[in-house]
Amino acid sequence: MKLLALDTSTEACSVALLQQGHIIALDEVCPQQHSKRVLPMIDGLLAEAGLSLNGLDGIVFGRGPGSFTGVRIGVSVAQGLAFGADLPVFGVSTLAAMAQAAVRLHQATQVVAAIDARMAEVYLASFSCDSNGELQQLTAEQAIKPQLLAPLGLSGKVIAVGTGWQTYATELMRAQPADIAGDILYPSARDMLTLAQPAFNQGRFVSAERAEPVYVRDEVSWKKLPGR
The pTM of the full predicted model, rounded to 2 decimals, is 0.94
Tens digit of each residue's pLDDT (9 = 90 or more) over 82-111? 999 999 999 999 999 999 999 999 999 999
Q: Domain 95-180 is in which class? A: alpha beta
Residue 226 has pLDDT above 70, yes or no: no
Mean pLDDT value across residues 185-209: 98
> Domain 3-94+187-222 belongs to what architecture?
2-Layer Sandwich (3.30)
- Surface-to-core class of residue 177, CB atoms within 10 Å of its CB (0-12 exposed, 13-18 middle, 19+ buried): middle
Task: Give the closest residue to 114 by CA, choosing from 63, 60, 68, 169.
Answer: 169
- Other Cβ atoms within 10 Å of 116 Cβ, number: 21
Cα dihedral 127/5/58/192 (nearest 10)? -10
Cα–Cα distance measured from residue 228 to residue 225, given in angstroms and rounded to the nearest whole number: 6
Between 37 and 223, the higher pLDDT residue: 37
Please say if the pLDDT value at position 137 is more than 80: yes
Helix, strand, coil in percent for the chain, rounding step 5: 35, 25, 35
Which DSSP category does 151 fall into? Answer: P
What's the pLDDT at 218?
64
Bin 129: left if φ > 0, else alpha if -120 < ψ < 50, else beta: beta
**What residues does each domain of the chain span?**
3-94+187-222, 95-180
Task: Let me know if the fold of 3-94+187-222 is the same as that of 95-180.
Answer: yes
* CB-side neighbour CA atoms (13 Å) of 207: 1
